Amino acid sequence: MKRSYIRKILDAIDKDTISFAGGLPNEDLFPLKQISKASKKVLKDRSSLQYSKSQGIDSLREKIANFYTRVYNLETTKDEILITTGSQQAFDIILKSLNANNLIVESPSYIGALSSFRILKKDIKEFKTFEQLNNILKKDEILYCISDYQNPSTYTYTKKQREKVANILKEKDAYLIEDAAYSLLNFKGKIKKPICSFYKDKSYHLGTFSKIVAPGLRVGWIRANKELIEKILVVKESLDLHTSTFNQMLIDSYLDDNDLFKHIKKNAKNYKKRMNYMAECMEKYLPNFEFERPKGGMFIYGKFNNIKDSMQLATKALEKKVAFVPAQVFYFDEQISNEARFNFTNCNFKQTKEGIKILAKLTK
């Protein structure tokens, strides 16, 4: 077992480092005043500091269920929602509740999910094409995928592809873990129907307030049918009893008094600007880095045409106080790669330009 490359560099970097590495939302966009107001309200109620139900507080689950019904057009009740301590926790909880030993993941995939699967000693296979997926996936195995602005590739499944994946799952009678960390954070304000809306029986849909409100509160959720929720509830209570009552009530109160989707729209507009600026800097100073501008999320992903191993570049860049993530860590087999992921939400324009220029020098 070893630490995640990303968490390790997040620990290592200091304030002088220009970091394109983590998936950190921009702090300036946190609704600090609104959370302060919510905190005042919530702390009038002593039960905010008490133990609470393992599935999560009713009122917050009700609101999340309403998102699904209203925003994803997928009818959902509060009994189909379980609150998690961040979305990351969902992997451990779901996997422990199932007997499945085999996981099929996109190649590349989210490093945090891979770590979680590894620690539970699951067998992991990667797929690049739907044909491969169709060949690999077997009954009761688990497909893990991120259907919107995939981390790291930024790829978004088309409607046809979603239906296709749902059909493969149906045919194989397999489980789906659909990670929707970035789904609501899109630049055009168009929200696609999740794969799980085409495959309801054996699917889990993961959501989080980390990317749209504040990650420091560690509040996420799992949507699944009641039968699956009852199974994961047993695991959740044994893991940490329940997610912080106070933090759940904070977000619940924040949602009472604020328009979440207005807030998300503001964030997305801000992030789109940052993405476009980074893209322009890359096109100007790093012409050998090939990428497509993403339509949402927090990353630009692409490949260097003039170097073979982005890990070597990342190591050199860190010495020059610039951090990004070489794609090797996103591949389960850790193959050497010329691909790389750049976060654009956390640096200002000046830092972005400077960081890209430093990388340009290093790749010349």
Query: Is the CB of 61 or the CB of 172 nearer to a copy of itself?
Result: 61
Query: Is the CB of 3 or the CB of 159 nearer to a copy of itself?
Result: 3
Query: Is the CB of 92 or the CB of 201 nearer to a copy of itself?
Result: 92
Query: Which positions lie near a copy of itself, rule CB under 8 A?
Result: 1-4, 7, 10-11, 22, 24-25, 27-28, 30, 32, 35-36, 39-40, 43, 46-54, 85-86, 88-89, 92, 96-97, 112, 115-116, 118-120, 210, 214-218, 231, 233-235, 237-247
- 3-state secondary structure (DSSP) of residue 142: strand
Query: Is the CB of 27 or the CB of 290 nearer to a copy of itself?
Result: 27
In the complex, the smallest distance separating the C-beta of residue 55 from a copy of itself, rounded to whole angstroms, is 8
In the complex, the smallest distance separating the C-beta of residue 93 from a copy of itself, rounded to whole angstroms, is 10
Q: With the CA atoms of 4, 364, 291 and 142 taken in that order, what torsion angle do they form, in degrees rounded to the nearest 10?
A: -30
In the complex, the smallest distance separating the C-beta of residue 199 from a copy of itself, rounded to whole angstroms, is 25
Asked whether 88 and 108 are in contact (CB, 8 A), the reply is no
> Residue 12 contacts by C-beta under 8 Å, 6 or more apart in sequence?
318
In the complex, the smallest distance separating the C-beta of residue 109 from a copy of itself, rounded to whole angstroms, is 14
Query: Would you give the DSSP letter of residue 13?
Result: -
* Both structure tokens of 7: 């968490």
Query: Is the CB of 216 or the CB of 287 nearer to a copy of itself?
Result: 216
Asked whether 24 and 18 are in contact (CB, 8 A), the reply is no
In the complex, the smallest distance separating the C-beta of residue 194 from a copy of itself, rounded to whole angstroms, is 23
What is the C-alpha to C-alpha distance for residues 285 and 292, in angstroms, rounded to an integer?
16
* Both structure tokens of 53: 């139900």
Query: Is the CB of 162 or the CB of 202 nearer to a copy of itself?
Result: 202
In the complex, the smallest distance separating the C-beta of residue 114 from a copy of itself, rounded to whole angstroms, is 9
Adjacency order of strands within the sheet including 102-106: 81-84, 220-223, 203-208, 175-179, 142-145, 102-106, 123-127
